[in-house]
Structure 1
Amino acid sequence: MENIFKINKAFSLLVVLMLTGQFCFAKKNKLFVYKYEGTPNIEVNDSLKVVKKGTLLDKKTKLIMHRDDVVFMVNDSGDVFELIQTGTFSHKELLDLKPITTNSSFAKTYFSYVWKEFTNTDVLRRDKSGVVYRGDDIILMRYPADSTNIYNNEIRFEWDRIPNKEKDYYIIVRNADTKEIVKIGTPVNTISLMIDGTILKQGQSYEWAITETKFPNMNKIPFYTFHIMTNDEFKDIKKNISLISTDLKRMGLTNSEIQDAICQDFKLCF
């Protein structure tokens, strides 16, 4: 594993698609709500829906803004738009808004990545109990999310509970390079491991999974991956994080909310 920080594969694919022009015109016209304040609504086919983070704004929708409402939107180019006026706005009117100036190309990269995440079709499904599936595999893992980069002293692994389960869960952590495996049984749905050079080390990439049995078929387990950044890797990207943070502060996010947003949206947790 190289010791140079790289944005995950999903972002690399985004860059390729943007350079080769494979985003169609219709997609370029899509706007997604990144953040909102108040109680804005959208009108779709004569029905009203509540605006949420990730709400799609296209030619089929109208955005309804009330007093004190604020909406921040993003497009595929990484442009951010702010709307604070009261009224009902068509898709065309939203497209005519002037973007907020971002501080850096990296900030635009961040919001472009967020836009792509919003456009992805959700391949996961949940049953009535809330357990997540991909195909026939149960996906219990919650944090760290798949393909996450982490800079911290410890990692708190979290996963969904299985209703009425009484026996232990088993967390499996596997080094992506050496394939060395650590397996821990626990009755709860969270566990913290220190990044101290024993199980987890800086500069290494890992795979992790949750199973219900002590000796599962390792070839059939759905694993999530994460990379633990070194001090130098994080230093290389710290300036860019600062620039993104400036943009997010303009949207009213606190420092804690900014860390959560970058972790959740960009899969960079620190």
Structure 2
Amino acid sequence: MYQDIIYEETGKVATITLNRPAKMNALSDQMRSEIRQVVAHLQRSNEIQIVILTGAGKAFCAGGDINVMKANIDKQIPYEDRLMAYRRDVVEMVQTIKSIPQLLIAKLNGATFGAGCSLALLCDIRIAASHVKFGLPFAKRGLIPDWGASYYLPRVIGYAKAIELSVSGRTFSAQEAKAINLIDYEVPELELDEFISAYINKVLMSSPFAIRIIKKNMEASWHQSLETALEQEASLQSSCYLSDDHREGVESFIDKRQPEFNGK
């Protein structure tokens, strides 16, 4: 069904695998088109609660395709045309990925560079194998961090470290990524699948209704004053009080049993 990604559903979990292993899963127009299709499906799905984003082969994503960059330079594309293409290929794609309503987990199985690192930042939770290398070599190509990195990177790891990694473009380890909070968990390579499976099982014990609201509310809070955030919190929590999942969460606790949420 797809060419540059693999999409699979197992129960309540969907997996999107970037599938250009010979190119270290460098981003392509085809890949972007297919991701758009998958996200449209996820937005309609009431069954899927968790989405895993990972890469085929030895890389998560190496970022942009250098050969495509060279071809575009040779074409001498005018500024206005480049701007329109960027808005379509990057700006809209970032907004598309951030519109995924389910919990989005980055399974970083290999090299995570450039826009691949930016792509990981768009995920809600990042779990990396201990051998994974990271880097933001944009400046070495005469570019700036993109795919939302200029927004998310300083907010996630702090301004000073974001600047340092961006201007040096140096490669760094999963251990350093964990130390600066770029990733949430650093796991031995052979234990990555087992760790993520166990983590998913923990999340699936929580209300999918609450998880979607948590994700939406915390994302919005980055742009809000405390007063606005508290008012939105009040509105959303009042909706939660009236949900089936809240009733089930309370009753299952009293009954000393596992909850059976319906996501409503």
> TM-score normalized by structure 2?
0.23
User: Per residue, is there more strand in 1 or in 2?
Assistant: 1
Name which one, 1 or 2, has greater alpha-carbon Rg.
Answer: 1
User: Per residue, is there more helix in 1 or in 2?
Assistant: 2
> TM-score normalized by structure 1?
0.23
